[in-house]
Structure 1
Amino acid sequence: MKIERVIVHNFRSHKDTEVKFENGINLIIGQNGSGKSSLLDAILVGLYWPIRGRIGLRKEEFTRDGSRGARIEIEFEHDGTKYRVVRDFARDVSFIKRLESGTWKHASEPTSLAVRSFMERIIPFDVFVNAVYVRQGEIDAILESDEARGKLVREILNIEKYERALDNLGRVIRDIKRRREEKKKFVTRYEGIEEKIRDFEKKLVDVIKEIKEVNKELPDAKRKVEEIKEELKELEKIRDRINELEKILASLESKKARFEERIENLERSIEEKRKRIGELKKEVEKLPELEKEEYEFRKLKGFRDKYIRERHELEKKLLSIQNQITQIEEKIQELENKEEELKKLKEEEKELRNTLEMLEKYAKKFEDVEAILGQIKRLKDKLEGKKPEEIYIRINELVEKKKKLEEELSQVRREIGELSQKRKDREKAIAELKRARGKCPVCGRELTEEHKKSLIEKYSKEIVEIERRYIEIKEQEKKLSDEISRADIQLRKFSKLEGIARQLQELEEKIKDVNIEELKEKKREYEDTKRELNKLLGIIHQLETDVKALEDYKKRLNDLKEKEKVITRLLNELDNNLQSLGFSSIEELDARIRELENIHNEYVRIKEANAELKMLENQVNLERKELDDTFEKLAEVEDQIEDVNKELRELKEKYDPELHERRQEDIIEAEKRLSELKARLGELEKREADLRESIEEMKKQRDEVERAKEEIKRLERALRNAEELKNKIKEYMALIREDALKRIGEIASEIFSEFTDGKYSEVVVEAEEKKVKLYVVYDGKRRPLTFLSGGEKIALGLAFRLAMSMYLTGRMSLLILDEPTPYLDDERRRKLVEIMERHLRKISQVIIVSHDEELKDAADYVIRINLENGASKVEVVS
């Protein structure tokens, strides 16, 4: 996998950021808090959202303050195919596309979870966060304790997955055992089920027999109830009709009284309204005499209101326009002065540009020389004060020393082989002697017990001497190997210094004839001139912006003067309209309106009397009509009362209350008997259903017992398989942890040895349950971490963590390091640069986040992030 481009919008301190990554070592550099690590979080969110668990990131935490939601876009290449992931949290949109024949096409469903699932198929999330992405704080965990180191190793090597599998398997085993015991208890609980089934079937036969007997009695009981009910029904019908007619009669009598009362009220109301109508007609006769003065009053009043309103609005607009004209005339004068000033500054700009162009070549040359001087200083620092001749001599010495040591080691290893073979021969001879009878298997002579014992003692003593010499020679082999390793490390170191020395000589040759002070002075003049020009350009830009508005102001001035003329004309027209009505001023108009106001009030009063007259005439007509209708309704009600009384007399002659009461008592007895029979039948039928259900249930239980016995056999087989799998997982965990820690220890040994210039020859890693212990080998002896200085501990932690990532990365082409140098001293930071050049270049793409400027020497592509006005800004340095 190779990340090519990341675009971030409103993510933490990043408002609008775009970063491109290249092959090789990409360094993201900047001060703490500038947004470097946030960029790595954006990559993690973009590729694997939603993220939960120990690396949880919440949407509300990474969305930039004041924004609606973050947006992340990542382009990457994997196995020759380009992909683009987009997460838009403001619109809740997520999708991933692949480039096919020059066209971007969707690679999965456009949902957040679908995109994450697709990424899991490319690189699983656990692999990414454990092998690819080395986060801040993991070095501290390595150094904190054996338990913390063990936890980190389990997480990174994904051993926790197998531990969780063991826990889950343990729960499965416990669940199988629980289920097996439950099944056994179930089988025990339902012993004797066949005997119970036979007993319940016998009870069922007795119940069915009793049901038949009850069913024989039911028809007669039902017939008797029906006959009594028919007779009761006819009696109740007559009684109900009598009650109904009595209620109707009471209702009709009430209605008759209401109609009589309403007739009396209507006759009185009509008489009162006729008197008031006569009074109003006399008032309304005065109305025609007042209409002419009322018309004049309304016309003058309407004109006055309109005149006052329009004049006030026009005078207000006129005053506003006159004020604007004064202000714009002042602004035009100011801008014309600025226009003259701008012409002078343009001439000054031209002179400064000519001077800057002349000085630019000197400034550029000084920057080139300054870069070479910086390289020379870094190269001299790397040489650590050594001269090239000393380096060449030291290389030859180390080559000779290593050659001599390798010859000694070869001789020692030959002796080790001879001693080993000799010990095997003696052990074989002793074994044959112990088994031998008759002749000696070594010399062929007759073998007595005394001779046999003597030979065994002799060979045993030789074995003891061989083992003593073997231990001595192995110690010698170890010392020679350590010396060769140290010599090899020194040789690699001085070989690098040789190349640095040659590069240094080439750079010094380039600048030997350059007058640096003169170039420095020219560079200073260039910078001063550039600052002066930038300042002048700022003033010119502001003046140009202001002067552009001059024509707009002149146009606005002409428009306002035209509006002033229009308003003045409208004011004159208002005065002309007043005079056309015969008034020289608004005061004369007001005096006439006051004269007409009393007449207007009298007119309004009489108009209201006219409206009342019409309303009363209408009401009298309506009440006369209602009076006629009420007389007709009263006659109808009187006829209905006579009919109801007649039907009521006839029904009372037919109805016998005593007979009705006797039949009600009979029906109670008949229904009681019928209910008893039905209740008994219901009980028996329920008992039958219960028995049948119980029999069916017991038959099911009998079948379940058989199935439970089969289930017990199956569970016992599953229990054996699960326990066997659990043991195999434990064995596999031990194997992968042992192999991984051995290889990690080898890589860490090489890196830590470089960090310490060969002072420590080996890093030993040992696993013990959930702990991982670390030791270093110094002077041939294993030492604990307390033996190291503070700086050496940090270097060891970094070496160990890099080793884990390099072990896990394998054939993967990407590694991300977040702040790998926070506690390293200057010397070890320089060593880290060398380690990056030596080890990390084996990986196709490395992304490092750091605030350490020295790492630039090892980087292929440097990106700087700064915080400006609360937002992260990205700049490609080289």
Structure 2
Amino acid sequence: MLKRWQKNSTRDFMIIENVRMENFKSHRNTSVDLSTGISIVMGENGAGKSSILEAVSFALFKQHSGKKMEQLIRNNTEKMSVTLTFLVNGRKYRIKRDRNKKSGAQAKLGIMDGESFMPLASGEKAVTEEVKRLLEMDGDLFLNAVYVRQGEIADLIEKSPSEKKQMIGKLLGIESLEKAWKNMKILMDEYNGKKLKLEGRLESLDGLKDDLNSADNDKKRIHKRIQELNEKILKLETEYQSLKDRNEILDSKRSDFEATTSALESRKNLLEKMEVDEKYLRAKVDEIEATEKRMKELKPKIDKLPVLKGMQEAADELKGLKKEEIILNKIIKDINGFRGIITSNESYYHDYLKLESEVCSLQYARDQFAGSRGLMVNYVDRRKKVQNKIEQSMQKVSDVLEKSNKILNTDFDSVEDVETHLKAVKPEVEARVKEAVEDIHKLQTEISNIKIQNKGLETPIKELNQVEDVCPICKSNITPQKREELLKEYTSEMENNRKRSSELGKRLKELKVKKGIFESKSLKIQDINLGIITEYMSAVEDSKKDIGDIDSKVVELKKNLDIFEDLNNDIKTKNKVLEDLKGQYEAYIGAKNSLESLKDPEKYEEDLAKIQYSIETLKTRISSFVDIAGGSVENLQGEINYLEGLNNEYHQLSGAVIQKESFNTRLMETVDGIGKAREKMFEMGLQLETIGYDEKAHEIVKKDLDTKNGLLNDLKGEKQRFKGEEAQITRSIEEIHKKIESYSFDEKKLSGLKDYLKLLDYIRDLYGKDGVQRDLRNLSRPLIEQNTRDFFEKFNFEYSDIKLDEDYDVTIYGPAGQNSLDMISGGEKIAVALALRLGITQTLSGGSLELIMLDEPTIHLDAYRRQELIELLKKMSIIPQMIIVTHETDLEDAADHILRVKKEEGESFVVNS
């Protein structure tokens, strides 16, 4: 559950542009344009203000206050519709929901594409699901996050800790866990019933176990008979095996006889093949001896090849050494040049280093003052902000004085004059109210007495009309004249009383109007809050001290900036000189680096001498090769290539000669193999005589083996029949086992059901007040606390921190230390309550609060707290779009847009915006 609002969303939440209502509740045809900023919806109670907010929730999620949707349709009409245009993530969307008493409900969602809306979803369910996807929340979460209901701000101040805890839990959706906790009791009762049924079914398990014992006994009897047959079969199988072993020996002799005969034939074939190989090998040996003769002819020619190759290698080496000689001569020339550059630029190099060191020192000194310019900008900006704060506070003082003068119908310029006037006016107004109340009480008493008198006169008049000759008072006889006289007297007295009562009634109405005027004036006087001016003036004095401190800092910073500019100019001058010396400095560094990269310059001259010596040595070596070769060779490479061809032929022939020994060896082995093969064939002939296989004796053994096999099969057949009976009984036992196993399944099911009931009981405990509910509160509380702290800081009270405990009781920390909600002023309480409610909204909306709707936020608050909340709401530029439904005219000053809703003859409409 926490996951649905505990996330760090990067989406834009929502901005409402237009709400159009046709026959929705009391609105026949109303279109409301909304934009960012604070929109105030004004109107009398029952005018249809809150219906605008309800139309928003109905369009988005079908959320409404009626028991049935038909109750939203305006009286004497058949259908209604609500159209909502809104922005999400920079895209414009439009929802239209219709409800017809006859044809039912329809819904469409479109997205702006160019100049028109393209269909995105249709049908109530599809539209609702698409809205959930766009806003990343459902209807309940949307209302809890965005819609601040009547009395919620007051409840966060006045309610007890437990009531506040329950209220916030409902906003966070935790109450659904409480419902789940209660509903799980019904589920557990159902599973307990299933458990009782399973326990009753398992009572028939004992009878099946008796059947299983009987079947087991039958199986044991048959098994015993099978064992007896097994013993007979075993004895017969031993005799059968003896005959079988003898037969196998004869089979083996026959196999050896046939194998030896076959091997003798194979050996004969092998001998013929070896005789052919002998002829081939003798021919090969003759061929190799001819090759050896050719190699003797080539040997004197190829001996000259190493001398010619040595001559060529020496010539190549001489060529390489001459190249190295050229390179070393160039390097030695460069070294002498580098030394000359270093000598001519050394003084410039030292001047450059010294000047560069001075520039670094100056730059370090300048860096000590580099932050002065940024500090100067910050102090100037701070001074503007403090000055704006002073102007805002003075404006607040002016606003309170203006409001007080408006209420008192005066034109005072100072708080003291207003206070003096209040001291005089307030007792007078209170006295006028008291006087009016006393006069009203007197008139009401007199009117009541007259009514009692007239009530007393009705009885004698009634009796005189019923009895003609008896006095209703003394019961004595009277004449008709006296009766008429009494009737006239009583009737006249009643008429005079009615006239007097009517006059008194008029005076009573006038007094009530007068009392209402004085009471209204008294209430307005009570609303005058001069104490807040003292707070504003105190803030002004503190701000003026801040400006003094800032000005002194600015003077000091200006001195630092002058030093900074002097250092900067000095650095520029020295950098110009450095730029002029840079060429000589870089020439010195380049020559020095080049010289250092050569490591040991003297070594190059030594290397040059060595190479020159090697050149002379190689020339002598080449001369000796020419002498050995018998003179110089004009085409040295061609001669080398020709001799290498002869050398390759020689090596190829030598490869063939190498095989000579191998062929001789194979020839000798083949001759030896032929002799051995002839000896082996003679031994095989003797082996056939040793085997002595008798084919007739073998046939007799086979017949006896067949007879024993027939008897053995008969016994095995009998055994198989008993095996069948045993299998049938085994199947019966398995059937019984299956039945028992089915009951075993029920036993496992019963055991699992008991475990499941334990699990349900454990889960139910988790869903209780001390389980997940408490954990969710603990997880959500830090998020709400941080968001509440962020909003509270924007109200600019002198408090450093704000904390929430487990019951969401607030503790704030300020100059006087730790304070509870009861220890702070009424205005601060209102600020805390508003910050807490906005903190909850911020948490539920996933950290992306752009829209909030407040329904009569000042209701249930006393005059002072109501005024403080109004002042706070006037500052609420921290939320992009705020829609406030109210009848408080004082909130008009906070509005960017005002909508006035009226209701005439049952129809609500917007008169201006």
Instruction: State the TM-score, normalizing by the size of structure 2.
Output: 0.48
Structure with the greater alpha carbon radius of gyration:
2
Instruction: State the TM-score, normalizing by the size of structure 1.
Output: 0.49
